[in-house]
Amino acid sequence: MTAKPKLALYWAASCGGCEIAVLAIDEKILEVAAAFDIVLWPVAIDAKVHDIEKMADQSIDVCLFNGSIRNSEQEYMAQLLRRKSKILVAFGSCAHEGCIPGLANLAGREAIFDYVYRRSPSVDNPQGIVPQPEFEAPEGTLHIPVFYDTVKTLDQTVTVDYYVPGCPPEAENIYAIVKAVVAGLGGAPLPPAGTVLGKETTVCDECERTRNEKKIKAFKRTWEMIPNETDCLLEQGLVCCGLATRAGCGALCPKVNSPCIGCHGANAGVEDFGARMMTSLASVIDSNDPAEIRRIIQAGIPDPVGTFYRFSLPRSLLRRGALAGNGRGH
């Protein structure tokens, strides 16, 4: 019997949603299990990293790597799986862009530890102990991963072959990449390295709402209004990131009357998602008075980083906020 192709799935700094999303392909998971020999999937099977280390390089055919890189162990695993895999897929928004863990880039290790371990209302830590990467115990020296100041994307760590965007990716797209890889392993041509699975246009293309020219006098928060179901959400005043977000999700959120928040990442060729949102929203503000423009922006978008870089901060051009301790930042 010929050996089945090997499949690895790993989670770095993530929420576990991508793992569940894999299961969202429902019974097709059985096809996957039938087609592949799953050699690593910490959430589901009890494989050992050491066994992966002992494999020959490139013996894993495809690795679906979700989660961003924010500590030394995750970085090690990214490097290891890159070495051991023919095809490394950045699976889900965390691996692709940083996603929600990436918002920690508005702080740094010191500030995070200080809050989590000392100042949080529910913490009881009178000695102010924070994790250290190294600890001398009577039994020997203990090591835990080094916690980075800056969250990185997978491709800021190792070379990535393909990206499946989304938080989490849509079931159809997950199934599609699996099928493409299976076909590729069977000799069919694979997409060019670096391809992001999804369309090359933005969510507006998939959204069925009516669109007119945009003239914005105020940005509204989602809790301030219930939008109607027919008109463009931006025209109704809500910040809908569908403008700049890569299509491929079927405009799911606008379909249920909720503005798109951008989990599918930027359109093809775009380096910085937030810049696209900033420029498009700003350009159509209906005012030529600097004071009024400033007021509209400050009142309607009180958290610009959270609004424009909710999923993409580590992937953006500036990657992170300023670090405290140099006179700026948090």
Partner 1 sequence: MSDERFEPKIIAFLCNWCSYRAADLAGTARMKYQPNIRTIRVMCSGRVDPSFVLKAFSLGADGVMIAGCHPGECHYLEQNYKAMRRYEMLRHTLLAMGMEDHRLRLQWASAAEGNVLSAAINEMIEQVRALGPLNWPGLWSENGGHQAAIERLPHEHAEALEVSA
Partner 2 sequence: MSEKVGVYICHCGSNIAGTVDVVELAKFAGELPGVTVSREYKFMCSSLGQELVAEDIQKQGLTRVVVGACSPHLHEKTFRRACAMAGLNPYLMQMVSLREQVSWVTEDKALALDKAKAMISGGVRRVQLQEELEPTPVPVNPNTLVVGGGVAGIQAALELADAGYPVFMVEREPSIGGHMAQFDKTFPTLDCSACILTPKMSDVGTHDKITLLSYAEVEEVTGFVGNFHVRIRKRARGVDEKDCTGCGICIEKCPRKVVDEVFEAGMGYRKAIYRPFPQAVPKFPVIDRANCTFYERGTCKACEKFCPTNAIRFDQEDSFLDLDIGNIILATGWDLFDARRLSQFGYGRLANVFTNLEFERLCNAAGPTDGKIVLRDGVTEPKSIALVHCVGSRDKTTNPQCSAVCCMAALKFGHLVMEKTQAEVTSFYIDIRAPHKNYEEFYDRLQDEGMHFVRGRVAEVTDAARRPEEEGKLIVQVEDTLVGKQRRLPFDMVVLMSGLQPRADAREVGLRFGISCSMDGWFTERHPKLDPVATMTDGIFIAGVCQGPKDIPDSVAQGAAAASRIQGMIARGTVMIEPVVATIHEENCSGCRICNNLCPFNAIEFLAEKSVSYINAALCKGCGTCVAACPAQAISGAHFNNQQINAEIEGLLYDAVRGNGGAPKPVAVPA
Q: Which residues bind partner 2 (CB under 8 A)?
A: 200-205, 211-215, 242-244, 247, 267-270, 276-277, 279-280, 283-284
Determine if 256 is a binding residue for partner 1 (CB under 8 A). Answer: no
CB of 86 to partner 2, least distance (A): 25
Determine if 49 is a binding residue for partner 1 (CB under 8 A). Answer: yes
**SS3 state at 168:** coil
CB of 223 to partner 2, least distance (A): 24
Distance CA 294, CA 299 (A): 8
Question: Mask 289-328, x = binds partner 1 (CB under 8 A)?
Answer: -x--xx--xx--x-xxx--x-------xxxxxxxx----x
Where in 92-185 does DSSP place strands (E)?
134-137, 140-143, 147-152, 162-164
Q: Out of 26, 34, 50, 212, which residue is the one contacting partner 1 (CB under 8 A)?
A: 50
Say which entry of partner 2, partner 1, none residue 136 contacts (CB below 5 to 8 A, set by partner kind): none
Where in 52-108 does DSSP place strands (E)?
60-66, 69-71, 85-91
Cβ atoms 116, 128 nearer than 8 A: no
CB of 105 to partner 1, least distance (A): 8
Q: Out of 197, 272, 311, 315, which residue is the one contacting partner 1 (CB under 8 A)?
A: 272
Distance CA 203, CA 244 (A): 7
Distance CA 300, CA 123 (A): 34
Determine if 246 is a binding residue for partner 1 (CB under 8 A). Answer: no
- Sign of the Cα pseudo-torsion (49, 169, 69, 121, in order): negative
CB of 160 to partner 2, least distance (A): 17
Say which entry of partner 2, partner 1, none residue 126 contacts (CB below 5 to 8 A, set by partner kind): none
CA max distance for the chain: 74
Question: Mask 201-240, x = binds partner 1 (CB under 8 A)?
Answer: ----------------------------------------
Beta-strand relationship, 140-143 and 69-71: unpaired
Query: Which residues 120-179 are close enough to bind partner 1 by CB under 8 A?
Result: 133, 143, 145-146, 148-150, 152
Cis preceding linkage at 168, omega within 30: yes
Distance CA 151, CA 96 (A): 12
Region class of 128: left (phi > 0), else alpha (psi between -120 and 50), else beta = left
Say which entry of partner 1, partner 2, none residue 236 contacts (CB below 5 to 8 A, set by partner kind): none
Say which entry of partner 2, partner 1, none residue 288 contacts (CB below 5 to 8 A, set by partner kind): partner 1
Could you give the C-alpha distances from 240 to 4, 57, 169, 243, 272, in angstroms and in order? 44, 44, 19, 7, 17
Distance CA 84, CA 78 (A): 10
Q: Which token pair is 103?
A: 């918002």
CB of 247 to partner 2, least distance (A): 7
Cβ atoms 152, 69 nearer than 8 A: yes
Distance CA 122, CA 61 (A): 45
Determine if 330 is a binding residue for partner 1 (CB under 8 A). Answer: yes
Choices 16-24, 33-41, 119-127, 278-286 (CB under 8 A): range interacting with partner 1: 278-286
- Contact residues toward partner 1 (CB under 8 A) are 48-50, 53, 72-73, 75-76, 79, 106, 133, 143, 145-146, 148-150, 152, 271-272, 274-276, 278-279, 281-283, 285, 287-288, 290, 293-294, 297-298, 301, 303-305, 308, 316-323, 328-330
